[in-house]
Structure 1
Amino acid sequence: MSTHIDSTVGLSRLIHNASALQVFNAVVALIIIRWFARGFYRAYFHPLARFPGPKISAATRIPQIVATWTGSSHLYVARLHRQYGPIVRISPDHISFIDSQAWKDTSGHATAEQKKQRGSMPTKHWSRYGRAVNGTPSLINQQSDKEHARMRRVFNPAFSDRALKQQEPLFMKWIDLLVSKLDEGIQEDSDRKWNMVRMYNFTTFDVMGDLTFGEPLNMLNSGKYDPWVSMIFGSVRTNSKLSIIQYYPLLYKAFKALVPETFAKKRYEHFQYSVERVTKRLERGRRSEGVDLWDLVLKQDDGKVMSRAEMDSNSSLFMIAGTETTATLLSGLTYQLLKNPDKMEKLVEEIRSTFADSRDMHMEALAALPYLNACMKEALRVYPPVPVGLPRMTPPDGSTIAGVYVPPDTTVTIPHLAMYTSELNFKDPLSFVPERWLGDERYANDDKHALQPFSVGPRDCLGKNMAYHEMRLIAAKVFYKFDFELCPESDKWNDQEVFTLWEKHPLMCKLKPATSS
C-alpha cells in the first residue's frame, strides 16, 4: 500500500514538474517570438524603416549597446556612415547625421518662416542629460528656452572678449607656472619623461578653479590630481555605461530604487565641493588681484537675477566643461604635431619668430597667428574633445533635417568625429593638414561649416572664446620654450576608447630647452 502511494505521489510530481517546464518553455518561446516579431517590424515596417542602415541595428539596440559598453561607439557610428552615407539609422529609434546642414536644422537660429517650412526643431533629449544634485538646472540642462536665455544673459559679460582681457593675468599666472614646472624638471633630469596629459589637466583645472572658485586646486604645485578631479574622471566612464539602462524604463526604475547609498553619497559629496567653494568665494567679495567669473557676474547681477542654487549648479558645470575638454584638445594637438614634424616646424617657426620673449605673448597677438589658429582647428577636427553626438529628440510634429523629414519622438545626433573624418566633408579626412584652413586649393571643396565642435545656435558653448584663448596661450608658451620628442610607448596614443569623452592614455614626451628662435 505504501509503495503504491509513493508511486502515485512521484508520478504526480513528475507531471507537475513537466507541466511547469512546459509553461516555462512556452513563456520563453513567446518572448523569443515577440522579440523577432518586433525586430522584423522595426526593420521593415517602422516609420524609420526607409532610412539606410544595417537591418540588425534597425531591429535591435544590441549593436549600439555593445559599442557603448566597449567604448567603441565612435568607431561604430563612423563605420556605418562610411558604408551607408550621410544619414544613417544606428538603432531602432536613432538617426545619425553628418550632413553639415543638420547643424542649422537641429540647433541653429531659425526665423518664423523657416520654422514654418521645416517644422519645429528637435530639443535636447532631456532624459539623457540628468539633473543637478540640488534639482536646479544649469545652462546645459535648463529645459525652458526663456530661463536659459535669462541665465545666459547673466553669464555673457563674464565670457566676453573684454572680460577675458581682464582675466588674462589670471591665465598667465598658471600657464607661466606650467612652463616653470617643466623647466625645473628638465634642469633636474634632462632625460625625464613627461605625461603631457597630466600637465595639461593640472593647468586647466588650476586655471578654472581660480576663475570659478577664486582659488586653484593646486595640482601644478602638488604634482598630483586633486581627489575631486579623480572622482570626475572616474564618474565619466561609469555614467556612460550606466546610460545604457535608460533604454529600459523598468530596469532603470529598479536600478534607481536599488542603487547603493554610497553611490548617491559620492554624487552629493562631489556637488558639495562646488557649493562650499562658491560660498567661500562669495564671502570674500571682490578680488584684490585681477578679476574672476563671479566678480563679473555679481557686478551686473547684484544677486537679483540668479539664485544661489543656480550659482552652485553652474559652478559645477564650468569646472567640468571648461577643463577636461581644453586639456584634451591640447593633448591631441601635441600628439598630432609630434606625428607630423613638418607641421610642428612651421608652427614653432611662426611662434618663435613673432615673439622675442614669451612675456610678449598676449591673447590678441596669439589670435592673429594664422598657422597657430589653423593647427587648433585641425586638431579639433581630427581629435574633437567630445567625439560622439549629443542626443536630441524630434517634437510631436517631427522635424525636417538636412532636407529629410524625421518622424516624431526620434533621437537624432550629429557625431563630431564621424562628421569631421568623413570623405563626404573633408579631403584626406584622417590626415592632419592645418593648411586646409589657410586657403590651400587642394582643400577648396572641404565643407568647412561641418566643423562645429562648440555647437551652434542659442545654446552653443558659452565658453568658446575662453577655450580658444586659453588653448592658444598654453600651446604658444610651451612650444616657444621647449622642443618636444614623442616617446615610443605613446606612438599609438590616439588609439583610445570613448565613454562620452576620450579615455586618454598617458602622452609621454621628452622635453628640452628650445634650440631655435
Structure 2
Amino acid sequence: MSHLTNLLIEGAVLFTSLGFIYTFGLCFYNVFLHPLRSYPGPLFSRASVFEYHRQCLKGRLPFWLHDLHKKYGPVVRYGPNEISFIEAAVWKDAYGHSQQATSFEKHKPFYGPDIFGSSPGLIRADNYSHGRQRRLASHAFSDKALKDQEGILKGYATMLIDKLKEATQKNIDGKVDVVDFYNFTTFDIMADLTFGEPLGLLEGAEFTPWVRTFFENLKLIQITFVLRAWPALQAMMNAMVPKSLMEKRKLHMKHTTDRVDKRLARKTERPDIWTYITRFSESEENKDKNLTESESYSNAGLFMSAGTETTATTLCGLTYFLLHNPEKLERLKKEVREAFPTYDDIHMTQLSQLEYLNACIEEGLRMYPPVSMGLPRTAPKGGAEVGGHWVSEGTCVGLTHYAAYHSPSNFKDPDDYVPERWLPEGQTEYGSDHKDVLQPFSYGPRNCLGKNLAWHEMRLILTSVLWHYDLEFCPESEDWFKQDYYVLWKKPAMMVKLKSIRE
C-alpha cells in the first residue's frame, strides 16, 4: 500500500511539475516570443488571459480597458492574443468594405455556437452566408418598410404614454421606474415585428417569464464565454448544471421557435419582418436562397435581443443625462413641443429633422453605448494591418466602444454630456473631436441591420414622453449610472417623477 501511495504522490508531483513548466513556458512565450510581444499592456495580461477573464466575470471589462488605454495609449494588448484599439481607422481596416476588411472573420470564440442549429443566423454566419441572409432581411429594415411600420410603432408609443399615466396615478408621489417602461415598449414593438404579435408587457405593465429569462441569461452568457477558454472547467461546469436550468433553456428556445412557426404559418400582408423576408425570398430571383429553418429561428432570436434591450438602454441613458443637465432638457423640450402642435403631428420624417433631438441621441450613444465592448474580429491568414499596426494571423482585434468614446484623444470633455458637439454651433469648441470614431451600430457590411429602426424608435419614444410630461429625477436613483457590464449594462431601477402637461 505504501508503494502505491508513493507512486501516486510521485505521479501527482510530476503532473504538477509538468503543469507548472508548461504554464511558465507559455507565459514566457507570450511575453517574450509571441508575434504581439511589442504591443503595450500589463505584463500579467500579456502573459495570460486570467486578468481579462477576471474582469469579464466582475462585470468591469469596459472600465478596465478604458483605464488601460489611458495608461498605455490607443493600442493595448489586454490578453496574449487580444488587441484593443480606440482609433477610427480601425473601423475601415477591420470592419469595412475593403478586400482586407472583409477577410476579417467574426471572432468565433467570442460568439460560441448557435443554439438553434448548425446553420447559424446573421450574427455567426460566415461572410458568404451572411451576405445571402442579409440581402433577404434588409428588405424588412428598408426605408419603405419603416414607413409602413410607422403606425405600429406610434401605437406602442401611445400605449406607453397611457400606461405611464396609469402608473403615476397609482403612485401618490407620481414616481415610475422608466427602465421597466422603456423595456416594455421596445420588447413589445420588436415582438410585434418579429413574431407578428406583442408580448403584452405594456398591457400588463410587467415582464413575462421569457423576458425575465433573457435578462437573467446575460451574466450566464458572459460566464460561458470565459469557460470556453478553459475546456476542463467548462466540462466540469456542464456536468454540474441543474436539470431544471437546462429545461428553462429549452423552454426559452421553444418560445422563439413556436412563435416563428406560428407567424410563418399565417398568411398576412401586415408590415412585419417576415412579410418582407418571405415576399422577396419567394421571388424567382431568390427562390434558392431562402432562409433555412434554423436561420429563421436564430435571426428571430437576434432581432429580439439586438433590437430591444439596446434601444431601451439608450433611452434610459438619455433620460439620465438630460435630467442631470436641466438646461439641455429644457432646450430639447422646447424644440419638441414647438415642432408638434398636436400629438398626431408627430411623424417619422419630421422627427428626423429635429437637430437638437438627433444631437442628444448621438451624444447619449457616445456617453453610454449599449454594446460597450464592440464586436471582435480575427485577423486573416498571413496577418493584416489595422490602424497602422501589423497584427499576426489569428489575432483577436476590436474597437472598444466605451474606451474610444471616453478617450480625451478622441473627444474634448469626454465625460461630459454635450449634445452641442454634434451641431454647427459647437464646432468652434469641439471641432477637433474625432467624431468618425463613433459607430455604436458597428461598421461595414456587418453593421446593425436595424439601425434606422432603432433611431426612429428612440426619436419617437423620447419625443412622445417629453411632449406629454415634465420629468423630475428622484434622489434615490442618483447612483444609477454606476453599473456592471455583462454583455449589456446591468441597469438598476431609475425612478422619475412625471407631471402631465396635457390635461
- Per the normalisation by structure 1, the TM-score is 0.91
1:28 alignment counterpart:
16
The 5 A counterparts of 1:428-467 are: 428-439=413-424, 440=426, 441-467=428-454
User: Which is higher, the Rg of structure 1 or of structure 2?
Assistant: 1
1:141 alignment counterpart:
124
SS at match of 1:141: coil
Counterpart code for 1:163: A
Count of equivalent residues: 495
Please tell me whether residue 52 in structure 1 is matched to residue 34 in structure 2: no
1:397 alignment counterpart:
382
1:155 alignment counterpart:
137
The 5 A counterparts of 1:78-477 are: 78-111=66-99, 115=100, 121-129=103-111, 130-143=113-126, 145-253=127-235, 255-256=237-238, 259-287=241-269, 290-302=270-282, 304=287, 305-439=290-424, 440=426, 441-477=428-464
Indicate if the aligned counterparts of 1:483 and 1:513 stay in contact, CA closer than 8 A.
Answer: yes
Indicate if the aligned counterparts of 1:332 and 1:379 stay in contact, CA closer than 8 A.
Answer: yes
Please tell me whether residue 63 in structure 1 is matched to residue 43 in structure 2: no
Q: Deviations over 1:162-217 (max 9, x none)?
A: 11011101001111000011123334445132111100000011111111111100
Counterpart code for 1:321: A
Q: CA deviation at 1:489?
A: 1.4
CA distance in 1, matches of 2:170, 2:29: 68
User: Which of 488, 492, 495 is residue 508 of structure 1 equivalent to?
Assistant: 495
Inter-CA distance 249–408: structure 2 relative to 1 (3 Å threshold): farther
SS at match of 2:491: coil
Structure 1: give runs of 5+ residues left out of the alignment: 1-11
CA distance in 2, matches of 1:296, 1:16: 71
CA distance in 2, matches of 1:32, 1:315: 46
SS at match of 1:446: coil
Aligned-residue CA RMSD (Å): 2.1
Indicate if the aligned counterparts of 1:204 and 1:323 stay in contact, CA closer than 8 A.
Answer: yes
Q: Deviations over 1:91-129 (max 9, x none)?
A: 111111111100111110005xxx4xxx87421012331
Range that drifts further, 312-321 or 81-90: 312-321
Indicate if the aligned counterparts of 2:374 and 2:442 stay in contact, CA closer than 8 A.
Answer: no
Counterpart code for 1:70: K
Structure 2: give runs of 5+ residues left out of the alignment: none
Counterpart code for 2:124: N
Please tell me whether residue 37 in structure 1 is matched to residue 25 in structure 2: yes
CA distance in 2, matches of 1:120, 1:136: 20
SS at match of 1:511: strand
CA distance in 1, matches of 2:410, 2:363: 14
Q: % of aligned pairs identical?
A: 42
CA distance in 2, matches of 1:29, 1:433: 57
Indicate if the aligned counterparts of 1:120 and 1:395 stay in contact, CA closer than 8 A.
Answer: no
Inter-CA distance 270–189: structure 2 relative to 1 (3 Å threshold): closer
Indicate if the aligned counterparts of 1:350 and 1:371 stay in contact, CA closer than 8 A.
Answer: yes
CA distance in 2, matches of 1:386, 1:330: 14
Indicate if the aligned counterparts of 1:107 and 1:121 stay in contact, CA closer than 8 A.
Answer: no
